[in-house]
C-alpha cells in the first residue's frame, strides 16, 4: 500500500496538472487560461520559444491540452469593432449605436466574406484563407534565430555614412535613422545614432554635456525615421516638457501591414489599452480585465525583483489614428504554394506571386512602448517584417488575443498563410520592418517657430 501511494505521489510530482502542481508552477497554469493570451494557437509550453537563457525569459510552466486558451463567453476580454461611413472604431468598451455596421464573423469553410465577393480569385486566394497552425518547435527555432540576428545587427559597427542629418542649428539636430540601428547604445553599449552624433558634436557642446543629455525621444531599433536630439541641457528640458505635455508636438508614421484592410474602411481609431505582457516580458500586449488580473497574480508569485518591477506597471490608455494610403501588392518569385503569374503594376509587368499589403498613415495620440506595432497586430494586420509582433515573433501574437476570437472580430484579417508567404519574401529580399517615423512637427524650443521635419520611407 505504501509503495502504491509513493508511486502515485511521484507520478504527480513528475506530471503536474492544473489541479496537482505545487506552488512553484501553479500560478503559471492559472494565468494561462485566458482567451486573450496566445503566443500561438498551439503553444503548450510557456517556457519554450522565448530563448534558452532563463535570464531573458523566466520559465512559466506547462499547459495541458485542456488548458489551451479559449475564447471567453462574456464580453470583458474582447474588443469591439464598428464601421460607419468608412470609419473604423476599435475599442474595449461596448459600442451600441443605431445604424452602425458591425463586422460579424464569417464562415471561411463555406465561403468568402461578403466584403470580398466578386473579387478575382487572385485577390482572394491568399489573404482570406482559413487559419493554419504552426508547430511550437518551429516557433521556438524561429524566435531564437531572430533574437540572435537582432543581437548581431545591434552590434554591427555604424559608419558615419549612415548618418543622414535633416536639420542642424545651435540648439537641435534632426536625423533620419535607418532601420536596424539603435537610437541609443543601451546596456551593452552597442553602436547607435546617439554615439555617432556625440562623437561629431562633442567639441561644440558644453563640457558638462553628456551623451544622455541629448536624448529627447527614441525609436525602436527596427523602426526608421525622423529623430530629434538636443545640443544643450536647457534645450533638452524644454523639449522634454513639449513632448511630455504633447504641446504642439505631432508625429506621423507610415507603415505597410500584411493583407488588405476591409475595403469598406478608409480610416479609423484604435483605442486599446496596453500593458507589459506578463507571459512574455518585456514585450507589450493589449490589456483586458482578465489579463490585468493575471498580471497581478504573476507579480505576487515572481521572486525576481527586476521582473516584478516590469510586470507590475499598470495598463495605460493607448490611442492610434490610422488612414489608408493605398492597398498594394508585394511581388515575389520564390517558392510558394500559389500559382506564378505576370501582373501589370503601373507601366511595368511584375512576374511571380503577388501578396496583398496595405499602406497606412499612423498618428500617435499617446506614446506607449511598441504602441503602433501592437495595435496593428491586434486588428489582424501586423506590420510587414515585424520581428516581435509579426509571424514567428517573440511577443504574443494578435496583440494578445486568441486566433478564434480574432476570426470572429476581424474575419478578413491577414491569414497565416499570407503572413508566412510575406515572411519568406522579407527574408529572401533582405527587407526591414516597414514602420517609418515620417513626420515630426513641433515649435522650436528657443524661437517658438513651427518646424516640420519629414522624410519618406525606403519601403
Q: Convert 37-59 into a string of H (helix), E (strand) and C (coil).
A: CCCCCCCCECCCCCCCCCCCCCC
Please classify residue 282 by burial: count the beta carbons closer than 10 Å to its beta carbon, then call 0-12 exposed, 13-18 middle and 19+ buried: middle
pLDDT of residue 281: 84
Task: For residue 380, give the nearest of 142, 131, 72 by alpha carbon.
Answer: 131
- In the numeric block, which cell numbers belong to residue 43? 503553444
Query: 395, 408 in Cβ contact below 8 A?
Result: no
pLDDT of residue 17: 36
Whether the predicted pLDDT of 31 surpasses 50: no
Q: How confident is the model at residue 30 (pLDDT cuts 50, 70, 90)?
A: very low
Task: For residue 303, give the nearest of 93, 54, 48, 118 by alpha carbon.
Answer: 54
The pair phi, psi for residue 371, each rounded to 5°, is -55, -50
Tell me the per-residue pLDDT of 92-130, one tens digit each, with 9 for 90 and over: 965 444 333 334 332 232 233 344 334 433 343 343 344
Q: How far apart, in Å, do the first and last CA atoms of the chain sit?
A: 71
pLDDT of residue 207: 87
**Which residues, listed in sequence order, are joined to residue 174 by a DSSP beta bridge?**
167, 228
Tell me the per-residue pLDDT of 243-290, one tens digit each, with 9 for 90 and over: 999 889 999 999 999 999 999 999 999 999 999 998 888 899 999 999
Report the predicted TM-score, pTM, of the whole model to 2 decimal places.
Answer: 0.72
Query: 5, 367 in Cβ contact below 8 A?
Result: no
Whether the predicted pLDDT of 132 surpasses 80: no
Q: How confident is the model at residue 452 (pLDDT cuts 50, 70, 90)?
A: very high
Whether the predicted pLDDT of 319 surpasses 70: yes
pLDDT of residue 299: 79
Please classify residue 434 by burial: count the beta carbons closer than 10 Å to its beta carbon, then call 0-12 exposed, 13-18 middle and 19+ buried: buried
pLDDT of residue 309: 64
Q: How confident is the model at residue 313 (pLDDT cuts 50, 70, 90)?
A: confident
pLDDT of residue 74: 53
Amino acid at each position: 500500500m505504501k509503495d502504491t501511494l509513493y508511486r502515485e505521489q511521484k507520478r504527480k510530482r513528475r506530471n503536474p496538472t492544473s489541479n496537482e502542481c505545487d506552488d512553484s508552477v501553479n500560478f503559471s497554469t492559472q494565468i494561462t487560461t485566458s482567451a486573450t493570451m496566445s503566443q500561438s494557437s498551439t503553444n503548450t509550453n510557456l517556457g519554450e520559444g522565448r530563448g534558452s537563457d532563463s535570464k531573458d525569459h523566466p520559465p512559466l510552466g506547462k499547459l495541458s491540452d485542456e488548458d489551451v486558451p479559449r475564447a471567453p463567453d462574456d464580453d470583458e476580454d474582447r474588443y469591439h469593432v464598428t464601421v460607419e461611413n468608412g470609419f473604423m472604431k476599435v475599442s474595449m468598451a461596448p459600442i451600441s449605436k443605431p445604424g452602425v455596421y458591425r463586422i460579424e464573423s464569417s464562415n471561411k469553410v463555406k465561403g468568402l466574406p461578403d466584403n470580398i465577393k466578386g473579387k478575382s480569385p487572385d485577390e482572394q486566394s491568399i489573404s482570406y484563407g482559413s487559419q493554419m497552425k504552426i508547430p511550437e518547435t518551429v516557433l521556438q527555432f524561429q524566435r531564437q534565430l531572430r533574437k540572435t540576428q537582432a543581437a548581431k545587427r545591434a552590434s554591427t559597427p555604424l559608419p558615419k555614412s549612415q548618418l543622414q542629418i535633416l536639420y542642424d542649428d545651435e540648439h537641435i539636430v534632426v536625423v533620419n535613422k535607418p532601420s536596424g540601428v539603435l537610437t541609443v547604445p543601451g546596456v551593452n553599449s552597442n553602436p547607435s545614432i546617439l554615439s555617432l552624433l556625440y562623437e561629431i558634436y562633442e567639441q561644440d557642446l558644453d563640457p558638462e554635456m553628456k551623451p544622455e543629455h541629448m536624448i529627447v525621444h527614441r525609436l525602436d531599433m527596427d523602426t526608421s525615421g525622423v529623430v530629434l536630439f538636443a545640443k544643450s541641457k536647457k534645450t533638452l528640458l524644454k523639449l522634454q516638457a513639449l513632448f511630455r505635455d504633447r504641446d504642439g508636438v505631432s508625429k506621423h508614421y507610415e507603415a505597410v501591414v500584411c493583407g488588405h484592410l476591409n475595403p469598406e474602411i478608409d480610416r479609423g481609431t484604435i483605442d486599446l489599452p496596453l500593458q507589459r505582457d506578463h507571459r512574455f516580458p518585456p514585450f507589450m500586449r493589449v490589456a483586458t480585465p482578465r489579463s490585468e488580473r493575471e498580471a497581478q497574480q504573476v507579480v505576487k508569485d515572481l521572486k525576481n525583483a527586476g521582473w516584478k518591477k516590469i510586470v507590475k506597471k499598470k495598463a495605460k490608455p493607448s490611442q492610434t489614428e490610422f488612414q489608408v494610403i493605398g492597398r498594394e501588392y508585394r511581388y515575389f518569385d520564390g517558392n510558394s504554394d500559389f500559382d506564378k503569374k505576370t501582373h501589370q503594376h503601373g507601366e511595368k509587368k511584375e512576374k511571380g506571386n503577388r501578396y496583398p499589403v496595405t499602406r497606412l498613415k499612423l498618428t500617435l495620440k499617446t506614446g506607449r512602448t511598441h504602441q503602433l506595432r501592437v495595435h496593428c497586430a491586434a486588428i489582424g494586420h501586423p506590420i510587414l517584417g515585424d520581428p516581435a509582433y509579426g509571424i514567428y515573433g517573440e511577443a504574443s501574437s494578435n496583440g494578445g488575443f486568441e486566433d478564434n476570437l480574432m476570426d470572429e472580430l476581424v474575419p478578413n484579417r491577414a491569414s497565416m498563410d499570407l503572413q508566412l508567404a510575406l515572411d519568406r519574401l522579407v527574408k529572401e529580399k533582405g527587407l526591414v520592418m516597414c514602420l517609418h517615423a515620417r513626420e515630426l512637427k513641433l515649435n522650436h524650443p528657443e524661437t517658438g517657430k513651427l518646424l516640420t521635419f519629414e522624410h519618406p520611407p525606403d519601403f
